[in-house]
């Protein structure tokens, strides 16, 4: 594979993988559970995600490889953890890709209500598959512009919201920020706060994508350090800034009834095309998620094939340095998921509920790389203390920050189990991980330890 991802592309890939439909459409559920204290949840989650990325950055600075955290898991922990991490990443991103493709059909019906919802999804997946086959720089350029559209929209929403908060506009007086506490702050108590925290953590999933791109980055050491340092701060500003504006303008208990807060905020200053603009933005967000899904999953498939854990054909590289069999296989898997979403409900009335569980079940596999990164970094430090001498990008406050991060992630999973909305998806994720663990020990453990 070829190092063709530039610094600007790397930063936008990290941003684009994390800022998505979850912010534009999904913030309502977390606000409903915990009210304005959701700002605190995003801040706490952001701090621990920064520590996870710093742990990854410490190892990547020494060894910038593609599919990094999976290889680190195999090297510093046990090959089964490398196997689990790769498959968790594939599972998470394929599920994300399917859900984003289905969402694209819904978004397109906003403009063309009569079009079958599956048609735009199929067109989009074919387009993204071709783009990923051309070269890694084509993937990077697409992701750059997809992410830029989201970032510009969020900045505009924050700017417009601050004008309404401070000055008022279009007949609406200055709202101030008193609504952050006048209707309650911790409205769901500690339980509601931790329920929201689990979804907030899930909304950050994809930030580790920067570790997958490491093997195809130009000047990887400098690029990775800058991308990790800049991205976390920007994500915190975008998430906390936009939700701060929402909660200042609209009482938290009314947000569930106003449609999209982004649409309403732009509408208040007389932008009549607000609904169309936001629909276009969430459409590009869905394309961005699917683009990342094809890229990340195909690189993990390639890595598994290199280690003899997938058939050798997944090793094949085209003249542009792209593992084309892996790209086509992942795109086909996403396409089949979209078609099953259309066909199964016609055959079985409960199929829609199954899909909801499967989509939600990506949360636990999506967190597996984070656990792996934190533990691998502890082992890396223990095995290679000499590499930490004059290391310019060390994990802050290690090893105590590692242990604290692991504790917070475990507490989040515990509260996911006690929340009836997230319990079954969590258990589906547990079953998936258990099945893949058994499969590894049956098929590959003896071979890997010869």
In a domain, 225, yes or no: yes
Structure tokens at 43: 């801040």
- Check: CB of residue 261 under 8 Å from CB of residue 38: no
In a domain, 306, yes or no: yes
In a domain, 1, yes or no: no
Which pLDDT value is given to residue 101? 86
Select from 284, 145, 289 the least CA-distant residue to 205: 289
Task: Count CA atoms closer than 13 A to 396's CA, side-chain side.
Answer: 10
In a domain, 2, yes or no: no
Kindly give the parts of the chain with pLDDT less than 70.
Answer: 1-3, 14, 16-18, 20-26, 66-67, 170-173, 259, 351-357, 359-360, 448-450
N-to-C CA span, the chain = 29
Q: How far apart are CA 263 and CA 188, in angstroms?
A: 26
Which pLDDT value is given to residue 314? 94
Residues 6+ apart with CB under 8 A from 24: 150, 260, 262, 278, 281, 282, 285
Question: Which backbone phi and psi does 59 adopt, to 5 degrees?
Answer: -75, -40
Average pLDDT, the chain: 86
The residue with tokens 């296989």 is: 329
Which pLDDT value is given to residue 218? 76
Which pLDDT value is given to residue 21? 60
pTM of the complete model beyond 0.85: yes
Q: How far apart are CA 242 and CA 12, in angstroms?
A: 18
- Check: CB of residue 330 under 8 Å from CB of residue 301: yes
In a domain, 117, yes or no: yes
Which pLDDT value is given to residue 17? 64
Q: How far apart are CA 174 and CA 159, in angstroms?
A: 14
* Domain interval for residue 264: 7-448
In a domain, 304, yes or no: yes
- Check: CB of residue 136 under 8 Å from CB of residue 274: no
Question: Which backbone phi and psi does 172 adopt, to 5 degrees?
Answer: -100, 125
In a domain, 92, yes or no: yes
Q: Indicate the SS3 state at residue 5.
A: strand
- How many domains does the structure of the chain reveal? 1
Query: Residue 424, exposed/middle/buried by CB under 10 A (0-12, 13-18, 19+)?
Result: middle
Q: How far apart are CA 247 and CA 319, in angstroms?
A: 51
In a domain, 168, yes or no: yes
Whichever domain contains 305, its CATH number is: 1.20.1740.10
Q: How far apart are CA 439 and CA 75, in angstroms?
A: 20
């Amino acid at each position: 594979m070829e190092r063709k991802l530039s610094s600007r592309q790397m930063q936008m890939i990290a941003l684009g993988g994390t800022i998505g439909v979850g912010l534009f459409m999904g913030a309502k559920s977390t606000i409903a559970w915990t009210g304005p204290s959701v700002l605190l949840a995003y801040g706490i989650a952001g701090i621990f995600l920064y520590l996870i990325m710093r742990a990854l950055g410490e190892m990547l600075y020494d060894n910038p490889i593609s599919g990094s955290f999976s290889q680190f898991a195999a090297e510093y922990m046990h090959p089964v953890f490398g196997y689990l991490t790769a498959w968790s990443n594939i599972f998470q991103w394929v599920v994300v890709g399917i859900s984003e493709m289905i969402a694209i059909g819904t978004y397109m019906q906003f403009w063309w209500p009569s079009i079958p919802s599956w048609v735009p999804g199929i067109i989009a997946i074919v387009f993204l598959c071709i783009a990923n086959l051309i070269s890694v720089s084509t993937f990077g350029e697409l992701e750059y512009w997809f992410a830029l559209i989201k970032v510009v929209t969020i900045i505009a929403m924050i700017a417009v919201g601050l004008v309404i908060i401070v000055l008022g506009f279009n007949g609406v007086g200055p709202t101030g920020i008193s609504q952050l506490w006048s209707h309650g702050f911790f409205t769901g108590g500690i339980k509601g706060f931790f329920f929201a925290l689990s979804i907030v953590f899930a909304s950050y999933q994809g930030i580790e994508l920067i570790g997958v791109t490491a093997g195809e980055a130009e000047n990887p050491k400098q690029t990775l350090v800058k991308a990790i340092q800049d991205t976390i701060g920007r994500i915190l500003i975008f998430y906390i800034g936009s939700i701060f504006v929402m909660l200042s303008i609209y009482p938290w208990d009314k947000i569930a009834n106003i449609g999209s807060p982004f649409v309403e905020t732009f509408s208040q200053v007389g932008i009549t095309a607000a609904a169309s603009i936001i629909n276009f933005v969430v459409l590009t967000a869905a394309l961005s998620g699917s683009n990342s899904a094809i890229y990340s999953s195909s690189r993990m498939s390639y890595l598994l094939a290199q280690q003899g854990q997938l058939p050798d054909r997944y090793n094949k590289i085209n003249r542009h340095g792209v593992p084309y069999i892996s790209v086509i296989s992942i795109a086909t898997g996403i396409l089949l998921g979209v078609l099953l979403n259309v066909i199964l409900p016609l055959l079985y009335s409960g199929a829609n509920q199954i899909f909801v569980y499967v989509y939600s079940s990506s949360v636990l596999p999506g967190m597996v790389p984070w656990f792996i990164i934190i533990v691998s970094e502890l082992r890396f430090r223990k095995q290679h203390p000499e590499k930490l001498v004059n290391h310019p990008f060390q994990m802050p406050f290690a090893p105590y920050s590692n242990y604290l991060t692991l504790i917070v992630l475990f507490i989040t999973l515990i509260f996911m189990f006690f929340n009836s909305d997230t319990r079954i998806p969590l258990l589906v994720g547990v079953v998936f991980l258990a099945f893949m663990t058994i499969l590894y020990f049956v098929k590959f453990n003896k071979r890997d330890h010869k």
